[in-house]
A and B are shown apart, each in its own frame.
Chain A
Amino acid sequence: MRMAFRTVWYGLLVACLACAWSAPSAAAHVAHADSLDGGAQEAEGAEAQGVSASSEEVLDGAGSEAEGGETPSTGWFDTEHTPTAVATLLFGAILLFFIRSARSGKPLFIRRIAGLEAVDEAVGRATEMGRPILYSPGLDPMEEVATVASINILGQVARKAGEYETRLIMPNRDPIVMTVAQEVVREALTQVGRPDLYNADDIYYTTQSQFGYAAAVCGTMMRERPATNFFIGHFYAESLILAETGNATGAIQIAGTDSDSQLPFFICACDYTLIGEELYAGSVYLSREPLLLGALKGQDVAKAVLLVVLIAGAILAFFGIDIGPYLG
């Protein structure tokens, strides 16, 4: 295992260096090609990745000269994604470094997240009141990372619900999410020695319709009167309908979403809200698994690195220094 881990770690470093080395040549290929038609795509890609306006101009310039039908590429590698590849590999390397540190037993400080600290209290409250817990994984399908993060948190919540012998209700909008959730809850309850508490009928499919799902969840909240509501995942316009209905029933509510447009609604209507990245940290924070804590620490360090890069970029832009051409 350790050997495999080391191989991946060194592999990432080598790949990172290789990508960084190939970037200038790829950029030169883009800037000097006579028959490119990918300029507009390049600019769009650059905008999506947050590249500065000056570098977009460089790419636009390349595009304005282009008239052919060839895609900018060095063959097997799509040079359009070079910055993304470098950033991904660097980030991966940082993560693996901290996971390795965590393996060696080095203590890691993780800041307190109020919404996740409250999970115990929320499950305990439901137990004391003799009422169920309601868990909504959001509207997105299983392939979305927010839904995966939600399912990871579900596993931890189900464990706690099992320990406290509390019923967990989970209406689903996506049948694949429902199937995965049933498996996760069953395993979680088995791990805490309470497989008898598992009831497949409590993790059920409702409808694909957005507001049909909202109506179904609201109806469940009004009839079953859960003491605790979890809204963890990616939500759309129905977020406030769910949170306000839950608020009206007097339930303690913990929400978590990566949708920046829905965050204000959850913050207004819920007791605790996991903001953006806290959603992805949820499972790690609750499980306290050392390896995963290492990854969380790596995530924080990567954010610090990004912050330094952003500040440096802002200073350079302030003084009118354009490093775009050097970066490609």
Chain B
Amino acid sequence: MKRTGPVVFGFLIGMLMLIQYFTQVPWIDDRYNNVLDWKQVVFGITLILGVVSLFLHHWKKIERKTGGWGYSVVTIAGLLFMIAAALIFGREEGPYPWMFDHVQAPMQSTMFALLAFYVASASYRAFRVRSFHAALLLTAGVIVMLGRVPLGEMMGFHIGEHYFSLGTISTLILDYPNLAAKRGVMIGVGLGMTATAIKIILGIERTYLGKGA
């Protein structure tokens, strides 16, 4: 029962979700909305587990004085301060929204801004010409990058009466080989998603239950 119960439950709920997509029966729609409501309840409960897990994880680091335990002090202090600020001053005014606007938002922007430097370092590695494929990637990359800026429109060549700017070639690269490859990936992803869903609904794939395949 311990093994088959979750599989049977998964089959029933999975089939309900599948049938709901293809039908317009109000009763099934209602059950679907029930499941979505339940998801919110489950999320709320697991969020408590998550916060407890976060607290314990960092608390043990502080207790054992493991490397970087100072960061754990900041994490727990921040967690407790935000809870206290929301309880005492409310979520609409006082230190709670101030911390969001003046601490969390700038920190998030900083992390996002780091992306620019990481793009540069990753591009440097990717564009090193070590093989024919890398050379091809470099050429396509340069054309697309130049083609996206006004300068690219001024650069180009004539074939007969026709003028081909880097902008036009860039659009051709993006609209044909690039889009074809992306669609190939997306078709594979779609089939993979469907196959995984069918395997889970039929109880063939059970690893997610922690029961092994």
Judged by a CB distance under 8 angstroms, whether B56 is at the interface is yes
Judged by a CB distance under 8 angstroms, whether A186 is at the interface is yes
Cβ contacts under 8 Å, B136 to chain A: none
Tell me if B23 and A77 are in contact (CB < 8 A).
yes
Checking B108, B194, B205 against A209 with a beta-carbon cut-off of 8 angstroms, the contacting residue is B108
Judged by a CB distance under 8 angstroms, whether B204 is at the interface is yes
Chain B, residue nearest A214 (CB): B111
Contact A277 B49, CB 8 Å, known A152-B205, A292-B213? no
Q: B58-108: which have CB < 8 Å to A?
A: 60, 67-68, 71, 104, 107-108
Judged by a CB distance under 8 angstroms, whether B156 is at the interface is no
Query: Residue-by-residue, is A265-294 near B (CB-CB < 8 Å gives 1, otherwise 0)?
Result: 101110000011101110110010101100
Q: How close is A275's CB to chain B, nearest CB, in angstroms? A: 6
Tell me if B208 and A152 are in contact (CB < 8 A).
yes
Q: How close is B42's CB to chain A, nearest CB, in angstroms? A: 6
Cβ contacts under 8 Å, A223 to chain B: 67-68, 71
Report how far A277 CA is from B191 CA in the complex, Å.
7
Binds A, one of B118-126, B147-155, B157-165, B169-177: B118-126
Tell me if A306 and B191 are in contact (CB < 8 A).
yes
Report how far A243 CA is from B126 CA in the complex, Å.
14
Judged by a CB distance under 8 angstroms, whether A303 is at the interface is yes
Interface residues of A, CB < 8 Å — how many? 83
Report how far A212 CA is from B118 CA in the complex, Å.
17
Tell me if A205 and B108 are in contact (CB < 8 A).
no
Tell me if A287 and B213 are in contact (CB < 8 A).
yes
Tell me if B108 and A212 are in contact (CB < 8 A).
yes
Counting chain B residues whose Cβ lies within 8 A of the other chain, the interface size class is: 35 or more
Judged by a CB distance under 8 angstroms, whether A65 is at the interface is no
Contact A152 B22, CB 8 Å, known A8-B202, A176-B43? no
Chain A, residue nearest B18 (CB): A88
Judged by a CB distance under 8 angstroms, whether A241 is at the interface is yes
Report how far A283 CA is from B210 CA in the complex, Å.
12
Report how far A183 CA is from B192 CA in the complex, Å.
24
Tell me if A180 and B208 are in contact (CB < 8 A).
yes
Tell me if A184 and B208 are in contact (CB < 8 A).
yes
Report how far A33 CA is from B118 CA in the complex, Å.
56
Judged by a CB distance under 8 angstroms, whether A328 is at the interface is no
Checking A76, A205, A219, A258 against B193 with a beta-carbon cut-off of 8 angstroms, the contacting residue is A258
8 A-B pairs with CB atoms under 8 Å apart are A78-B23, A91-B194, A206-B54, A240-B119, A241-B115, A258-B193, A287-B213, A292-B204
Known: A183-B210, A211-B111. 15 other contacts (CB 8 A): A78-B23, A91-B195, A95-B198, A148-B200, A152-B207, A152-B208, A176-B42, A188-B210, A188-B212, A201-B56, A212-B107, A212-B108, A268-B122, A268-B126, A295-B204
B-binding residues in A (CB < 8 A): 8, 71, 73, 75-78, 81, 84-85, 88, 91-92, 95, 99, 143, 145-146, 148-149, 151-152, 155-156, 172, 175-176, 178-180, 183-188, 191, 200-201, 203-206, 209-212, 214-215, 219, 223, 237-238, 240-241, 243-244, 258, 260, 263, 265, 267-269, 275-277, 279-281, 283-284, 287, 289, 291-292, 295-296, 298-299, 302-303, 306
